[in-house]
């Protein structure tokens, strides 16, 4: 079963310079589902925290563990890290994913070994060069899970928290980023948040010393 973090995790506050406190970049009203449907992301919050992108994703049900068995979360978020549709991924004409420089994949995984299976939460970051035609065209720059990377991948109930290193020299950056999420069977959604080159205002403050803590710090700009 998913590890339940201390109650303080429920008090996490997120602030952005250009957004109201704790306001997701993307919100999605998931349709009614049954036990065979995979968990769907319903709220996505992202922003810079130091040299990382801090990410919080809320699901309509538990995204990993024994509860979802072999139908756990498998969600891909596309991030245009320089908010420039002319660089990065190029899919079909008019696709919102065009321009994405990074994909963040969140998966609830079952690792079968002999007669048993280990369950864990996985977060993978894939970087795209200009003209990439799909997720398989990118380079994996981070492959994290909540067994070995507890300071970067955590969960609390239906919510996943992750820190993705954004210091790769070839990853473009800007004052704003564009995030795209395409729920299964629905239209793609997009939203904007502060980028790594933004200054002033607040910052995402999700992780500290491997634990989730409340209280978003603000800096003077």
Give the pLDDT confidence of 115-144 residue by residue, as tens digits.
677 899 999 999 999 999 999 999 999 999
Q: Which residues of the chain have pLDDT under 70?
A: 1-22, 114-115, 199-221
Looking at residue 203, what is its pLDDT? 55
Looking at residue 21, what is its pLDDT? 43
* Distance (Å) of CA 179 to CA 4, 34, 88, 195: 28, 28, 13, 11
Core vs surface per residue 22-52: b (16+ CB within 10 A) or e: eebbbebeeeeeeeeebbbbbbbbbbbbeeb
| 172 CB-near residues (< 8 Å, 6+ apart) | 81, 82, 84, 87, 88, 101
* Distance (Å) of CA 62 to CA 114, 116, 145: 26, 21, 16
Task: Name which of 182, 194, 165 is nearest 25 in CA terms.
Answer: 194
Looking at residue 221, what is its pLDDT? 36
From the CB of residue 54, how many other CB atoms can be counted at a distance below 10 Å?
Answer: 21
Looking at residue 8, what is its pLDDT? 29
Read off the pTM: 0.81
What's the CA gap between 153 and 136, in Å, rounded? 23
* Distance (Å) of CA 166 to CA 17, 55, 83, 100, 134: 19, 12, 15, 14, 20
What's the CA gap between 176 and 21, in Å, rounded? 17
Phi, psi for residue 206 in degrees, rounded to 5: -100, -45
Looking at residue 214, what is its pLDDT? 44
Looking at residue 118, what is its pLDDT? 87
Looking at residue 200, what is its pLDDT? 53
Core vs surface per residue 197-208: b (16+ CB within 10 A) or e: ebeeebbbbbbe
């Amino acid at each position: 079963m998913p590890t339940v973090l201390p109650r303080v995790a429920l008090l996490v506050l997120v602030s952005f310079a250009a957004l109201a406190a704790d306001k997701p970049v993307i919100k999605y009203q998931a349709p009614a589902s049954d036990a065979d449907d995979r968990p769907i992301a319903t709220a996505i919050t992202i922003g810079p925290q130091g040299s990382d992108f801090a990410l919080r994703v809320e699901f309509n049900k538990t995204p990993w563990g024994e509860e979802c068995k072999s139908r756990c979360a498998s969600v891909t978020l596309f991030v245009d890290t320089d908010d420039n549709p002319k660089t990065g991924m190029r899919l079909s004409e008019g696709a919102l994913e065009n321009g994405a420089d990074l994909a963040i994949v969140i998966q609830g995984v079952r690792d079968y070994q002999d007669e048993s299976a280990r369950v864990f939460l996985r977060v993978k970051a894939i970087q795209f060069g200009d003209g990439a035609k799909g997720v398989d065209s990118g380079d994996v720059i981070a492959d994290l899970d909540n067994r070995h990377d507890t300071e970067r991948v955590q969960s609390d109930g239906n919510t996943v928290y992750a820190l993705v290193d954004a210091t790769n020299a070839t990853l473009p950056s800007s004052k704003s980023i564009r995030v795209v999420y395409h729920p299964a069977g629905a239209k793609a959604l997009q939203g904007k948040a502060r980028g790594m080159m933004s200054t002033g205002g607040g910052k995402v403050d999700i992780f500290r010393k491997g634990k989730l803590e409340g209280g978003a710090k603000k800096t003077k700009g």
